[in-house]
Amino acid sequence: CLNFGNPYKPEVYWTFKEALGGMSDACRALNTPVTGGNVSFYNENPNSAIFPSPIIGMLGVIEDVEKHVTTPGFKKEGDIVLYIGADRKGLGGSEYLKVIHDLTTGDAPEIDLDFETS
């Protein structure tokens, strides 16, 4: 489900267009079909719109459950958060930035689809 504010507002339309473009690029690169979907607009109050909220559900087969993390996410205060992988210069839009620093700002890190598909 894709949740956005009023698409007649240029900044909301831009975020919707960019979200669709990014998801489309990723689905093509990863050879992942989209079998259905829903778009919900006008999710706002008189003061502001919700943050863009694309929500994607996926289904797959786990070949070896012993090698799979089954409980992602923060569990309790004091849990350690590690940043693993290439430095893609940015934590914008992250749960870390919101929870630890009470900030909702910045660009999300770009995804390197060539790397992800190699």
Distance, CA of 14 to CA of 20 (rounded, Å): 10
- What pTM was estimated for this model as a whole? 0.72
Q: What is the pLDDT of residues 45-78, one digit of tens each?
A: 988 888 888 888 888 888 887 877 666 666 777 8
Radius of gyration from C-alpha coordinates of the chain = 17
Please tell me the predicted confidence (pLDDT) of residue 96.
80
- Name the strand (E) or helix (H) holding 2: strand 2-3
SS3 57: coil
Please tell me the predicted confidence (pLDDT) of residue 22.
92
Residue extents of the structural domains in the chain: 1-60, 63-118
Q: What are the strands, taking DSSP E only, across the chain? A: 2-3, 39-40, 53-54
Please tell me the predicted confidence (pLDDT) of residue 3.
94
